[in-house]
Amino acid sequence: MLASMGGNVRKILVVLYTAFLIGANAAAADVAALRDGDMKKLALHEAPVALPEAVLLDAGDGEHTLAEYRGKWVVLNFWATWCAPCRREMPSLERLQAAMPDLAVVPVATGRNAVEGIERFFEEAGVTALPILRDPKSVLSRAMGVMGLPVTVILNPEGEEVARLIGDAEWDSDSAKAVLGALMAGQPSVE
């Protein structure tokens, strides 16, 4: 009897899981349809991915974590001062933050990036509204499988990864704003 109940429970779970995936995939398909230009490189995950814990440092060596952004959608950008594509991309992240103030654009300089070099990079790129955060020993970037730069990860309000783009992009493009807007509309904030 237990064996037949186990089989029925499995069937019910398969049906429920399939229904969940159809609903989730329909929402992902809607967002995927909005991808154009650089956003075609954006990989949408079938299920959110938990992030590792890591301490980030600000310009004054103050400690921060990504948990500080819980309740908001986050565009988490891994970059470095020596990265030419990062130099092209950073101004578009600044413009994205201005255009979509309900999300948090969080650039993280990974690896050896002197504070003075970051400040000079931001000044040359015209970046004034984004935080200076550093992952000097690449603890977070390694734990998240960042192998090259730039890499941008979209986090939901629960702090989970829902999408990833490898390489640079125009983050203030109409397509990027449409994709981010659709993601934000699809899940309420946890504030």
The pTM score is 0.83
pLDDT at residue 31, as a whole number = 86
**Confidence band (pLDDT; 50, 70, 90) for 28?**
low
**pLDDT per residue over 38-56, tens digit each?**
999 999 999 999 999 999 9
Residue 88: domain span? 34-186
pLDDT of residue 5: 44
Q: What is the pLDDT of residue 24?
A: 42
Is it the case that residue 18 has pLDDT exceeding 70?
no
- What's 157's domain CATH number? 3.40.30.10
For residues 123 and 70, give the distance between their C-alpha atoms in angstroms, rounded to a whole number. Answer: 28
Give the pLDDT confidence score for residue 187 in this predicted structure: 58
Residue 3 placed within a domain? no
Residue 27 has pLDDT above 80, yes or no: no
| DSSP-assigned letters across all residues of the chain | -HHHHHHHHHHHHHHHHHHHHHHHHHHHHHHHHT--GGGGGEEEEEEEEPPPP--EE-TT--EE-GGGGTTS-EEEEEE-TT-HHHHHHHHHHHHHHHH-TTSEEEEEEESS--HHHHHHHHHHHT--SS--EEETT-HHHHHTT--SS-EEEEE-TTS-EEEEEES---TTSHHHHHHHHHHHHHS----
Facing residues of 105 across strands? Answer: 75
Residue 23 domain-assigned?
no
Q: Of 24, 82, 22, 48, nearest to 164 (Cα)?
A: 48
User: Residue 55: what pLDDT?
Assistant: 97
106 within some domain: yes
- The mean pLDDT value for 130-152 works out to 97
Is 8 a member of any domain? Answer: no
Structural domains in the chain (count):
1
Q: What is the share, in percent, of the chain residues with pLDDT greater than 90?
A: 79
Residue 163: inside a domain, yes or no? yes
In a domain, 4, yes or no: no
Give the model confidence (pLDDT) of 61-116 as tens digits: 999 999 999 999 999 999 999 999 999 999 999 999 999 999 999 999 999 999 99
Percent of the chain with pLDDT over 70: 82
